[in-house]
């Protein structure tokens, strides 16, 4: 099982949005069973999950102190991916979660405020030696600031090739707690999220190969 923590210290960067859409995409792509864990006291992911008619992705409710043991249990139950949604502005908690992560998704908007806030998270990720990927979110097509943000971020870590566009559909409610990607599986949002999941998986695999090589030669 791969544990994927979604974190950035900036609020509203699309952590919860990515937890929802990527977990659904991973199941759709045949990469399940996928589990979700909500560590944000705001509970947005939990509230959304409670509205869902579908049984998947599953959500595990675990106390923070019991996370490590809980993850072991999910592994034992055959989970392949576990996405952990996190709160913004709680770097000490994030640092604990990075210790449990195989990979971290770092959602970020192409804005001056988001870029200014990024170094705190980047430093914590580097200290934890956990592989991570920047994902540009709420992107307005063909904007100079997006290209500039991608260029700045690429000096500090890998930036996902797929940018998540700003789409009203991502924030709109659908019956039964569905997402736009489920409501319109052939639509542009579904294609975008599918491409992003592919980017993330190839990054994960590259990192797994590298750590296997380090273990073999070190």
Ligand X SMILES: Nc1ncnc2c1ncn2[C@@H]1O[C@H](COP(=O)(O)OP(=O)(O)OP(=O)(O)O)[C@@H](O)[C@H]1O
Instruction: Determine if 13 is a binding residue for ligand X (CB under 6 A).
Output: yes
Task: Tell me how many helices (H) and strands (E) the chain has.
Answer: 9, 7
| Min CB(171)–ligand X separation in Å | 3
Residue span binding Mg ion (CB under 5 A) among the ranges 12-20, 72-80, 102-110, 188-196: 12-20
Contact 111, 12 (CB under 8 A): no
Q: Which is nearer to ligand X, 79 or 117 (CB)?
A: 117
Residue nearer to ligand X on the CB measure, 13 or 162: 13
Site for ligand X in 77-96 (CB under 6 A): 88
Number of residues that bind ligand X (CB under 6 A): 18
Q: In the complex with ligand X, which residue's Cβ is closer, 69 or 171? A: 171
Three-class DSSP category at 89: coil
CB 41 within 8 A of CB 17: no
12 binds ligand X (CB under 6 A): yes
Restricting to residues 122-181, name those near ligand X by CB under 6 A: 137-138, 164, 166-167, 170-171
Q: How far apart are CA 126 and CA 185, in angstroms?
A: 36
Based on the shown chain and the rule CB under 5 A, indicate whether residue 15 belongs to the binding site for Mg ion: yes
Q: Token digits for 176?
A: 């039964």
Nearer to ligand X, 59 or 138 (CB): 138
- Footprint of Mg ion on residues 44-103 (CB under 5 A)? 44
**Torsion over CA: 51, 200, 197, 30 (sign):** negative
And the tokens for 194? Answer: 């599918």
The set of long-range contacts for 111-117, using a CB threshold of 8 Å and a minimum separation of 24, is 111/145, 111/149, 113/10, 114/8, 114/10, 114/13, 114/149, 115/149, 115/152, 115/153, 117/8, 117/9, 117/10
| Complex with ligand X: residue 49 or 138, whichever CB lies closer | 138
Contact stretch for ligand X (CB under 6 A) within 11-19, 140-148, 153-161, 208-216 = 11-19
Q: Which is nearer to ligand X, 64 or 77 (CB)?
A: 64
13 binds, among ligand X, Mg ion, none (CB under 5 to 8 A by kind): ligand X
* End-to-end CA, the chain: 24
Per the structure block, which two tokens stand in for 64? 């923070």
Binding site for ligand X (CB under 6 A): 11-17, 40, 42, 44, 88, 137-138, 164, 166-167, 170-171
């Amino acid at each position: 099982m791969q544990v994927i923590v979604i974190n950035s210290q900036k609020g509203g960067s699309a952590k919860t949005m990515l937890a929802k859409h990527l977990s659904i995409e991973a199941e759709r792509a045949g990469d399940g069973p996928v589990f979700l864990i909500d560590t944000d006291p705001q509970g947005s992911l939990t509230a959304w999950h409670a509205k869902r008619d579908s049984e998947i992705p599953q959500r595990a409710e675990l106390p923070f102190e019991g996370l490590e043991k809980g993850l072991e249990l999910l592994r034992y139950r055959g989970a392949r991916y576990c996405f952990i949604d996190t709160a913004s502005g709680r770097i000490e908690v994030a640092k604990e979660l990075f210790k449990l992560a195989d990979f971290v998704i770092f959602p970020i908007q192409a804005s001056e405020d988001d870029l200014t806030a990024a170094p705190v998270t980047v430093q914590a990720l580097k200290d934890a030696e956990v592989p991570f990927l920047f994902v540009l979110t709420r992107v307005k097509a063909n904007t100079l600031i997006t290209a500039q943000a991608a260029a700045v971020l690429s000096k500090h870590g890998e930036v996902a090739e797929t940018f998540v566009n700003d789409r009203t559909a991502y924030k709109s409610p659908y019956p039964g707690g569905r997402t736009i990607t489920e409501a319109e599986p052939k639509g542009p949002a579904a294609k975008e999220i599918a491409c992003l999941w592919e980017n993330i998986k190839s990054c994960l695999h590259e990192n797994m190969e590298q750590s296997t090589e380090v273990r073999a030669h070190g």
